[in-house]
Amino acid sequence: MQGTQHTRRLVKASAVLAGASALALLAGCTSAPAENGGAGSTDAGGDGKFVIGFEQPLGGQAWREMGLASLQALANSPEYKDKVELKIVRTNDNDAAQQNAAMQNLIADGVDLILFDPASSSGADAAITQAAAQGIPVIANGGPYDNPDVYVVSTDWGSAGTIGADWLLKSLGTDKNIAVLEGLAGVPLNEGTMPGVIETLEGGGATVVAQDTNGWNEATAQEAMSTILRSNPDVGGVYSFLTGGQGIPEAFKAAGLPFVPVVGGSGYNGEACTLEKYAPEGLTGDMVFGQPAIYAKGLEQAVALLEGEKIEQEQYFPPLEITEENAGDYCLDDKPANFQLGYDFPGLDLTLDQVMEYYSGS
């Protein structure tokens, strides 16, 4: 091994040990990490790069595809390309058992750190325990995860829910009857957010007269809203969690009904463009969403940790908001409706061209 590579490897191992020790102190752990920082610190990345695994439990969604593209764009940027090797692993159907097994495989592969978008609130605990025993830091990236051995770099999804609820309450007229579409049942961020949303809405004087799901899909949101409107054509507003800013207005348009205030938040280009298109006809909306580039922010924090910096164990970032007032700044005329916005994150300065090199969505 050449001298420079050997030096980099020693620095790398020391950084992993420092990060693992800091996490152990935060967690109140008494067990020491494995000698030399575990499997992830000395055997992987023969070129001296940090080998960082990313486990993605639900592929195909534009939000997650854009997140992965931003992650790869940052990893291949001049600042990071000589530091990082990514191992991206995909599993299916938001299956927590599959995610846990995939993370254990990443540990066996000798990664230095694992980033994962949680499929559940506790389904990866076995892999996390194994990683902690080997001194491999783990970062929940994209959503929260309740485990003392896990760092969290996530959108403040609870805030994303109540920001929209507060906006809707202020925007309702005399008719306080509203429809509510939750996101994808069973997913932690949906289950953890919706009770607070309902409490906020009802506590603010709104009456929920119809409920359904949007499946985090604009077509599903439009279909659900169309069904609701057949029996509740006079609702005064609509709250839809993290999707619906395009489908819901189109359901009103197709039914020949006047627009009402709409909360959505997929961050699709179609939401911004729909707001811009129908604002002259009276559409108002608040599209609240977390930037997919939170994945890139997770990578930034992962590298800082591996380089020996101290990072906050729980980092929650505010969502973005698109309204009829700023929709024109976000609508991209040359992109399809389901193109995902939010490709950059404050402080990272990723460009659309950089990210598009890795984006596999529409």
Looking at residue 192, its pLDDT comes to: 86
Looking at residue 58, its pLDDT comes to: 87
In a domain, 142, yes or no: yes
Q: What is the mean pLDDT of residues 154-171?
A: 93
Whether residues 271 and 302 fall in one domain: no
Handedness of CA 124, 361, 292, 196 (dihedral sign): negative
In a domain, 311, yes or no: yes
Per-residue model confidence as pLDDT tens digits over 4-22: 333 333 333 333 333 333 3
- Each residue of 154-190: b (16+ CB within 10 Å) or e? bbbbebbbbbbbebbbebbeeebebbbbbbbeebbbb
Domain of residue 228: give its range. Answer: 157-289
Of 261, 230, 231, nearest to 244 by C-alpha is 261
Helix (H, G, I), strand (E, B) or coil at 279: helix
Whether residues 31 and 79 fall in one domain: yes
Whether residues 72 and 191 fall in one domain: no
Q: Across the chain, where does the E strand assignment appear?
A: 50-56, 84-90, 113-116, 138-141, 151-155, 177-182, 207-213, 237-240, 262-264, 285-289, 314-317, 320-323
Q: What is the mean pLDDT of residues 260-273?
A: 95
Tokens 């940790």 belong to residue = 305
The CA-CA-CA angle for residues 79, 82, 85, to 5°, reads 110
Per-residue model confidence as pLDDT tens digits over 119-129: 998 999 999 99
Rounded Cα distance, 76 and 216, in Å? 30
Looking at residue 360, its pLDDT comes to: 81
Per-residue model confidence as pLDDT tens digits over 270-289: 999 999 999 999 999 999 99
Reply yes or no on whether the pLDDT at 34 is more than 60. no
Per-residue model confidence as pLDDT tens digits over 285-344: 999 999 999 999 999 999 999 999 999 999 999 999 999 999 999 999 999 998 999 999
Residue 313, domain CATH:
3.40.50.2300
In a domain, 29, yes or no: yes
Name the pTM for this structure.
Answer: 0.78
The pLDDT-based confidence of 45 (bands split at 50, 70, 90) is low
The pLDDT-based confidence of 188 (bands split at 50, 70, 90) is confident
